[in-house]
Each structure stands twice: as structure tokens, then as C-alpha cells.
A and B are shown apart, each in its own frame.
Chain A
Amino acid sequence: MASSAAVPFWRAAGMTYITYSNICANLVRNCLKEPFKAEALSREKVHFSISKWADGKPEKPILRSDTPGV
């Protein structure tokens, strides 16, 4: 099957669609008026911890959080 269509510029630069879409959404959110901007940013806050595993044991977890003080 010949791939004849031109790829979008972000795909050519190695970005996936999801990354592109999330960047677009973040840019739009940053351009909102208050109080919508505060609502949107609080809605998109994430809080998770990742730990890599080695030899069947979890290593020190990395905590990623947008809520301050955690």
C-alpha cells in the first residue's frame, strides 16, 4: 500500500497526534478569561507517582503532582 499523502508537520517532526492535540488544548486553556481559566487549569491537574521496577522490587517512586505542598 503506497503512502502517498503528505504527513502533517508535527508527525514529520516525530510528534504523535495525542501530543499535538494536548498541546493545542493547553494553548487554548491558557488564553481563557478568568474565572474560566482557573476552572480549566484546576480540572487538568494531575497527581500520580511512578516507580520503576528492578529485580521484582519497586525502586524509589517519582511523585508528579500539580497540587502544591504534596
Chain B
Amino acid sequence: MLRQASRLLSRSVAAGTSKSATARGFSTEVPSTIDSTFVESWKKVAPNMDPPQTPSSFMKPRPSTASSIPTKLTVNFVLPYASELSGKEVDMVIIPATTGQMGVLPGHVPTIAELKPGIMSVHEGTDVNKYFVSSGFAFLHANSVADIIAVEAVPLENIDASQVQKGLAEFTQKLAAASTDLEKAEAQIGVEVHSAMNAALTG
């Protein structure tokens, strides 16, 4: 997983620094990527029409990275049906990435992290808000903005411990009895999610 992260990061960095014809620059460099030879030949052929615009000219410039690390992390935590946190300024969030619990502070290196079922905690001063996240992604940007998206996220108090135990037993049994690959995978997912919920409630 860490190998993947460095490949993804270096790919995005390489695309930004290389000036080859096939690489698109970041939208902060929009003016310089306008092709002047194309514009000139366009004006010769159709002097009264504006040259066609490209999608990058409609994009807002990417927010510039502050030279000094900001003091707060801005968190946007969204679910398909609700926006849990929107532009909230916090000190730290701990996200359940597939590579382990990841602590995100302001100035974190830009990262895209896939989330596994687990606890996400938002730390603001002495307040800590915990959510159990079913799965999702976290996008950490260079300007200390964190976009966390999850399909389902619930406060820990809303989880029923007895149903978790029941589910864990049921799926452990299904895993032992599973025959096809797909059944095994589904049972394995069930075991993982229920163990994570169990750990979240007892830990």
C-alpha cells in the first residue's frame, strides 16, 4: 500500500513538473499553457471568432499552498446523504486508512488514502468526536484541507454491541462454511467489519 502511495504521489508531481506536450499543467499555470501557434493560425483562418476555450480556462486556479504551515486543519467530512463537517477547522484528525490509523495534522503531505472500517476521530482543542466509518477515502491536500468521504459513518453510541457480536459469530461461521471465492470474500468482509466495530466499542 505504501508502495502505491509513492507511485501515485510521484506520478502527480511528475505531471506537474514536466513540460512535455502530453502533460497538462496545474490550473494555476493556465495562461502559459495556451498554445500560441494554434491561436495565431486560428486568427489567420477565422479573425472574427475567438479561439475555442479549453476546459482548463474555466477551472478556478488551484488554491496556492501557503508558504508557512497553517495552524488548523480544515476538514470536510461528507456522506452520500449528509455533510457531516463542512469547512470545520480542527487541530487533528485520525483516519482509519488501510495502512493503519493515520494522524493528520496541518501541513500533512498531500495524500489519497483509502479507508478501512474503523474509527475516525476529530480532535479540536480538548474535544474529540469519534465516528465509526464503514469505508471511504480521504484526500489530504497541500493547503491543509482534508476531504474525507465515507458511505456510512455513525457515532459510536449508535452501534448496538449485541448485534455486533451476533454478526461476528454469524460471519465467522459463514467463513468456515463458504465454498466459492465470492462467498468467502463476502464472509471475510463481514468478519472484518464486525471485528472492527467490536474493537471500536471495546477499545
Contacts and interface: CB of A to CB of B under 8 A. Distances in A.
B50 interface: no
A37 B152 CA distance: 12
B85 interface: no
Contacts of B132: 28
A62 interface: no
Chain A interface category by residue count: 20 to 34
Interface stretch (B25-33, B60-68, B104-112, B190-198): B190-198
B3 interface: yes
A21 B135 contact: yes
B contact face: mostly helix, strand, loop, or mixed: helix
Chain B interface category by residue count: 20 to 34
B182 interface: yes
A31 B117 contact: no
A20 B193 CA distance: 11
B1 interface: yes
A40 to B, nearest CB: 8
A5 B5 CA distance: 11
Given A13-B185, A30-B167, A33-B159, A24 B3 contact: no
Nearest to A32: B158
Interface in A1-55: 4-5, 9-10, 12-15, 20-25, 27-33, 36-37, 40, 43
B159 A31 contact: yes
Given A14-B182, A24-B117, 9 more contacts: A20-B135, A20-B189, A21-B135, A21-B151, A24-B189, A27-B134, A27-B189, A28-B134, A29-B152
22 contacts: A5-B1, A5-B3, A10-B188, A12-B185, A13-B181, A15-B185, A22-B151, A23-B189, A24-B117, A24-B152, A24-B193, A25-B134, A25-B151, A27-B193, A28-B134, A28-B152, A29-B152, A30-B167, A31-B194, A33-B158, A33-B159, A36-B154
Interface of A: 4-5, 9-10, 12-15, 20-25, 27-33, 36-37, 40, 43
